[in-house]
A = this chain, B = another copy of it.
C-alpha cells in the first residue's frame, strides 16, 4: 500500500524523479566519494515532504526513534548496516551501552528501543540499557505490549568510564537527544566511544546549522544532476534572540518571514505553482514538533496572543525558545485514504535501511494536524529505497522510494558536515 501523490503538478515531479533515475549511477558514485570524505552518523532518520514540485527533508534526527515501525523485511538491511557502522567505530567492540530517552511508559518508544537492541545484538554486540532517570536505582524490567522485555539499569560511573553493574562498554550509543543539556555523568568519557558525539545533542545543535550544511550539499548535488537546488532544498532564514513572552525580536521575525515568503512566491511563479506559500517558524534548538508555527503572512507573527506565545516559548524538557529558524514550508501532497502521509526515512551508517509514512488520520474536524501530540499511524514502506527501476514509470513505487532515499542521504550527509563543523575544541566539552 503506497500513498497516492495528489497534485495537479505531476509534470515537475516526474521531471525531478526522472532526473534521479537517469542519473542513478552518477548519484551513487557521487555519494560514494562524499562518504569517503565525511564520516556518516551511526544512525539517523529524516522527515521528508513531497509536494510534487518539490521533494525535501524538513528535519534530521540524530537520535531516531521509530525503528519498530519499519517493515520487518528491512531488518537484514539494518543488521548489515549496523555491522558496517560498528566496524567503522571499532572492530573489537563487544559491549555497547544504549542510553534511551526517559520515557518508561511510552510503549511505542520502548518498542523502538527493543528493536534497536535486537539489531545491535544481531550485529554482534552485547547490549545493555543505562537509564538517565534518577528513579532507576536498580535493574528494572519493563514489559512491552508485544511480550518483549527491557531491563533498564542505573548508570555507574567509574572514573572516566561509564557502564552499568558488571558491564564495561567500549561504546555508548545515545538514543536520547540531550535536550535538557549534558548530564554530568556523560562528560569526560575520553576512553569510550560516545555516539553520536555530545555536540550532536539538541542542547548544542541548531536546525539552522543543519539547514546551512544542507543548503551547500543540495547545491553541489543539484549541480551534478543538473537541477535547480530549490527543488530539493527548503530555504530558510534565521533571527537572533527572540523572546516570545517579552515580545522582543518580533520585528526581525516578521521581516524574515516576509522576505522568505516573497522568495517562495517568486519560485512558485517560476514553476507555475498555484499554491499558497507558507513558512514554518520553529525553535532553532528543539524537537518533538513543539514550538512550531505555520505562517502564511508576516502579520501573523506580530502581536501573538498568550496561547500562541506560550506554545512557541516552551519546547521539550521545559527549555525556553530563544532562537528560531524560519523554514520554507513544503506542502504534503501525498495522501492515503484522504489522510496526509509523510515519509520518514531511516539510515544506519550511510545506508538507507527503511522507512515509514506518518499517516495523519483525522480525529476531528477542528483539530489542527500540526498541533503538539498529533496522532499518526505508521505505515511501513513496503518497497526498498535502493532499487530504482528504469523499466517502470518515474513515479512507480521503486522509483519514488529511490528518490526518498537519495534526498534522505543528502540530509544525512549534511548532518555529517554539520557535526564536523560544530565539533568543539576538546577543552569546551571538558567543563
| Chain A interface residues (CB < 8 Å from chain B) | 24-29, 31-33, 35-36, 73, 75-77, 79-81, 83-84, 86-87, 91-94, 121-126, 351, 384, 386-388
Measured between C-beta atoms, what is the minimum distance from A258 to chain B in Å? 43
Contact of A77 among B33, B77, B94 (CB under 8 A): B77
Chain B residues with CB under 8 A of A31: 124
User: In the complex, which residues of chain B have a beta carbon less than 8 angstroms from the beta carbon of A25?
Assistant: 121, 124-126
Cβ contacts under 8 Å, A36 to chain B: 87, 91-92
Are A87 and B29 in contact, with the CB atoms below 8 A? no
Q: How far is the CA of A87 from the CA of B126 in the complex (A)?
A: 28
Residue pair B83, A28 in contact (C-beta under 8 Å): yes
Q: Is the CB of B122 within 8 A of A92?
A: no
* Min CB gap A28→B, angstroms: 2
Q: Is the CB of A76 within 8 A of B77?
A: yes
CA distance A36 to B92 in the complex (A): 9
Q: Are A92 and B124 interface neighbours, CB within 8 A?
A: no
**Inter-chain contact A76/B124, CB cutoff 8 Å:** no
CB-defined contacts of A126 to chain B, threshold 8 Å: 25
Inter-chain contact B124/A87, CB cutoff 8 Å: no
User: A122–B79 contact, CB under 8 A?
Assistant: no
Given contacts A80-B81, A84-B84, contact A32 B91 (CB under 8 A): yes
A124 touches B28 (CB 8 A): yes
A-B contact pairs, 17 of them (CB 8 A): A27-B124, A28-B83, A29-B124, A31-B124, A32-B87, A32-B93, A32-B124, A33-B91, A35-B91, A36-B87, A36-B91, A73-B73, A75-B384, A75-B387, A76-B386, A122-B387, A122-B388
Q: Which residue of B lies closest to A125 (CB)?
A: B25
Q: How far in angstroms is the closest Cβ of chain B from A73? A: 6
Within 8 Å CB of A351, what residues of B?
80, 83
Contacts of A76 in B (CB 8 A): 77, 384, 386-387
User: When the two chains form the complex, which single residue of B32, B93, B124 contacts A83, counting CB atoms closer than 8 Å?
Assistant: B32
* Nearest CB on B from A78, distance (A): 10
Which among A25, A76, A83, A386 has the greatest number of chain B C-beta atoms within 10 A?
Answer: A76
A118 and chain B: residue at smallest CB distance: B387
* 6 A-B pairs closest in CB distance: A28-B124, A36-B91, A76-B384, A29-B124, A79-B386, A76-B386
CA distance A134 to B277 in the complex (A): 64
- A79 CB, min distance to chain B CBs, angstroms: 5
Residues of B contacting A32 with CB < 8 Å?
83, 86-87, 91-93, 124
Contact of A386 among B29, B122, B125, B387 (CB under 8 A): B122
The CA-CA distance from A75 to B388 in the complex, in Å, is 12
